Amino acid sequence: MKVIFLVLVLVLISCENTDIAPPISREKFKSVYSEIMILESYYQLNFRNTNIYKDSLLKSVNHVLEKNKVSFEDFEKTFNYYSRHQEEFQGINTELIELYSK
């Protein structure tokens, strides 16, 4: 009986509510995500080797987050939220593609 109770408690503790709203609004996330994707593209096109630009890219990303008053943790949580909600994430990516295609 104790084993069943322990397993039940562990299962309940490990469950995460994936429907909790992300800490960053959709529009702010889209803006920050867009800036980060542009940075990453720039570094990939100009340096190609991730070992060369890894530290510089990290500093640049941190600058974007600070400028937008977003913590890395909140950005990561929001990114993970949209990773679990693929239709919404696809919508954000489509909007960004359309924005930069003009």
In the chain, domain spans: 26-101
**Chain centre distance of CA 6:** 34
Report CA-CA distances (Å) from 102 to 38, 66, 90, 97, 98: 16, 28, 19, 9, 7
* CA gap 68, 88 in Å, rounded: 22
pLDDT at res. 88: 96
| Residues 75, 65 contacting (CB under 8 angstroms) | yes
**The pair of three-digit structure tokens given for residue 38, joined into one six-digit string:** 């542009």
Is pLDDT above 50 for 7?
no
Q: Is the pLDDT assigned to residue 96 strictly greater than 50?
A: yes
Phi/psi of residue 91, each to 5°?
-65, -40
Q: Can you give the pTM of this predicted structure? A: 0.77
Give the DSSP H or E segment for 59. Answer: helix 50-67
The string of pLDDT tens digits covering residues 9-50 is: 444 444 555 568 999 999 999 999 999 999 999 998 898 887
